Chains A and B, each alone.
Chain A
Amino acid sequence: MNELILNIKNNEFQEYLRDESRSVGQAESISFPRTIGEVKEIVAHINQQQIPLTIQGARTGLAGGAVPRRGHIMNLSRLNNIKGLRYDAASNTFFLTVEPGVLLTHLRQALQELSFPTATWTPESLAALNQLQQQGPHFFPPDPTETSASIGGMIACNASGALTFFYGPTRNYVEAMRVVLMNGHTLTLRRGQQLVQKGRFTVQTEEGYTITGQIPELSMPAVKNASGYYLKQDMDLIDLFIGSEGTLGIVVEAELRLLPTPRAIWGVTAFLPSEAAALQLVRVARGELIPDLQVPHLPRPVAIEYFNCKALDLLRKQREHNPAFKQLQELRPQYHTAIYLEWHGASDAELSQVALQLGEVIRACGGDEQDTWVATTPYDLEQLKFFRHATPESVNMLIDQRRQTEPRITKLGTDMAVPDRELTQVVELYNGDIAASGLEAVMFGHIGNNHIHVNILPRSLDEYQMGRELYLKWARAIVAMGGTVSAEHGIGKLKTAFLQEMYGQEGIEKFRAIKKLFDPQNRLNPGNVFPAGGGE
Chain B
Amino acid sequence: MKIIVCVKQVPASTQVRLNRETGTIIREGVASMLNPYDSYALEEALRLKETLGGEVTTISMGIPSVADLLKATLALGADRAILLTDRKFAGADTLATAYALAKGINRLGTFDLIICGKQAIDGDTAQVGPSLAEKLGVPHLTNVQQIKEIDGQRIQCLRLTDAGYETVELQLPALITVVKDINLPRLPSIAGLRRALSQPVTLWTAADVDADPNHIGLQGSPTQVTSTFVPEHQRQSERFEGDASQQASQLVERLSSLGLLGPREGGLSNDQH
Point out residues on A near B: beta carbons under 8 Å.
11-12, 136, 268, 326-327, 329-330, 348, 352, 355-356, 358-359, 362, 368-380, 383-384
The smallest beta-carbon distance between B180 and chain A, in angstroms, is: 10
Cross-chain contact B31 with A359 (CB below 8 angstroms): no
**Cα–Cα distance between A12 and B193 once the two chains are bound (Å):** 58
In Å, the complex CA distance between A268 and B33 comes to: 18
Query: Residue B12 at the A interface, CB < 8 A?
Result: yes
| Cβ contacts under 8 Å, A359 to chain B | 190-191, 193-194
CA distance A136 to B30 in the complex (A): 12
- Residue interface bits B184-197, CB-to-A below 8 A is 1, else 0: 10111111111001
Known contacts A11-B244, A327-B184, A379-B12; A369/B190 CB under 8 A:
yes
Chain A interface, DSSP helix/strand/loop, else mixed: mixed
Are A372's CB and B244's CB within 8 A?
no
- Contact, CB under 8 Å: B193 / A379: no
Q: B238 in the interface, Cβ–Cβ < 8 Å?
A: no
Q: Name the CB-closest residue of A to B242.
A: A12
> A residues within 8 A CB of B243?
11-12
Give the docked Cα–Cα distance between A374 and B72 (Å). 11
The answer on a CB contact under 8 Å between B193 and A355 is yes
Whether, in the assembled complex, B36 has its beta carbon less than 8 Å from a beta carbon of chain A, the answer is yes
Point out the residues of chain B lying under 8 angstroms from A356, CB to CB.
190, 193-194, 197
Complex: A12 Cα to B194 Cα, angstroms: 61
Closest Cβ neighbor of B245 among chain A residues? A11
Measured CB to CB, the nearest residue on chain A to B188 is: A374
Identify B190's interface contact among A330, A372, A383, CB under 8 A: A372
Question: Which residues from A are CB-within-8-Å of B191?
Answer: 359, 368-370, 372
Nearest A residue to B243 via CB reads A12
Within the assembled complex, what's the spacing in Å between the Cα atoms of A368 and B194? 13
Q: Check A374–B12 contact: CB distance below 8 A.
A: no
Nearest residue (CB) in A for B181 is: A326
CA distance A369 to B29 in the complex (A): 33
Q: Is the CB of B12 within 8 A of A369?
A: no
Q: Which 8 A-B pairs have the closest CB atoms?
A: A359-B190, A369-B191, A373-B187, A369-B190, A370-B191, A372-B189, A372-B190, A377-B33
- A383 x B187 contact (CB < 8 A): yes
Q: Which residue of chain A lies nearest to B36 when distances are taken between CB atoms in the complex? A: A379
A142 to chain B, nearest CB (A): 24
How far does the alpha carbon of A371 sit from the alpha carbon of B190 in the complex, in Å? 8
Known: A12-B243, A377-B33, A378-B31. A268 touches B190 (CB 8 A): yes
Residues from chain A with Cβ under 8 Å of B13 in the complex: 378
| Bound Cα distance from A373 to B193, whole angstroms | 11
| Most chain A C-beta atoms within 10 Å of own C-beta, residue among B75, B189, B191, B194 | B189
Neighbour of A369 across the interface among B68, B72, B189, B197, CB < 8 A: B189
| A378: contacting residue among B12, B29, B190, CB under 8 A | B12
Query: By the criterion CB–CB under 8 Å, are B31 and A369 in contact?
Result: no
Whether A329 contacts B189 in the complex (CB less than 8 A), given A356-B194, A377-B31, A379-B33, comes out as no
Give the contacting residue for A375; candidates B12, B36, B187; CB below 8 A.
B187
CB distance from A54 to the nearest CB of B (A): 21
Which chain B residues in 191-221 approach chain A with CB under 8 Å? 191-194, 197
The winner among A326, A368, A369 for most chain B CB atoms within 10 A is A369
- In the complex, what's the smallest C-beta–C-beta distance from A296 to chain B, in angstroms? 13
* Further pairs besides A359-B194, A374-B192: 19, Cβ < 8 Å: A11-B244, A329-B184, A352-B193, A355-B193, A356-B193, A356-B197, A358-B190, A362-B190, A369-B190, A369-B191, A370-B189, A373-B187, A374-B188, A376-B72, A376-B188, A377-B12, A379-B36, A380-B187, A383-B187
Residues of A within 8 A of B189 (CB): 369-374
Determine the interface band of chain B, counting residues with CB < 8 A from chain A. 20 to 34
In angstroms, how far is the closest chain B Cβ from the Cβ of A261? 11
Task: Collect the chain B residues with CB atoms within 8 Å of residue A326's CB.
Answer: 184
Given contact pairs A12-B243, A379-B36, A374 touches B186 in the complex (Cβ within 8 A)? no
Chain B, Cβ-Cβ closest to A137: B29
CB distance from B246 to the nearest CB of A (A): 10
Q: Which residues B121-179 have CB closer than 8 A to chain A?
A: none
Q: B187 — which chain A residues lie within 8 A by C-beta?
A: 329, 373-375, 380, 383-384
Residues 1 to 50 of chain B near chain A (Cβ within 8 Å)? 12-13, 29, 31, 33, 36
Instruction: Give the distance to chain B from A359, nearest Cβ to Cβ, in Å.
Output: 4
5 residue pairs A–B, Cβ–Cβ below 8 Å: A12-B243, A356-B190, A368-B191, A369-B194, A374-B189
Residues of B within 8 A of A358 (CB): 190
**Min CB distance, B266 to chain A, in Å?**
26
Q: Which residues of A contact B192 (CB under 8 A)?
A: 374
Identify the closest chain B residue to A14 (Cβ): B244
- Bound CA span A372–B29, Å: 29
Per the bound structure, the CA–CA distance linking A519 and B16 in Å amounts to 52
Q: In the bound complex, do residue B193 and residue A374 qualify as a contact, i.e. CB atoms below 8 Å apart? A: yes
Q: How far is the CB of B117 from chain A (nearest CB, A)?
A: 14
Interface pair A374/B190, CB less than 8 Å apart = yes
Residues of B within 8 A of A370 (CB): 189-191
Residue of B nearest to A15 (CB): B244
Nearest A residue to B196 by beta-carbon distance? A352
What's the nearest-Cβ distance from chain A to residue B139, in Å?
32
Contact check, B190 vs A355: say whether CB atoms are below 8 A apart: yes
The smallest beta-carbon distance between A394 and chain B, in angstroms, is 18
A195 to nearest B CB, angstroms? Answer: 41
Q: Compute how far the CA of A12 lies from the CA of B247 in the bound complex, rounded to whole angstroms.
A: 12
Q: How far is the CB of B122 from chain A (nearest CB, A)?
A: 14
Q: A371 contacts which chain B residues (CB < 8 A)?
A: 189
Residues on A with beta carbons closer than 8 Å to the beta carbon of B184: 326-327, 329-330
Q: Which residues of A contact B29 (CB under 8 A)?
A: 136
Question: Which residues of the partner chain B approach A377 to less than 8 Å between Cβ atoms?
Answer: 12, 31, 33
Return the chain B residue nearest A378 by Cβ: B12
Give the residue name and chain of the B residue nearest to A368 (CB).
B191
Hey, which chain A residues are within 8 Å of B244, CB to CB? 11-12
A362 to B194, CA, bound (A): 14
- The smallest beta-carbon distance between B242 and chain A, in angstroms, is 10
CB distance from A437 to the nearest CB of B (A): 37
A366–B220 Cα distance when bound, in Å, is: 56
A203 shortest CB reach to chain B, Å: 42
Of all chain A residues, the one with the shortest Cβ separation from B13 is: A378
Considering only CB atoms, which chain A residue lies closest to B15 in the complex? A113
Task: Name the residue of chain B whose CB is nearest to the CB of A379.
Answer: B33
Chain B residue nearest to A371 in the complex (CB): B189
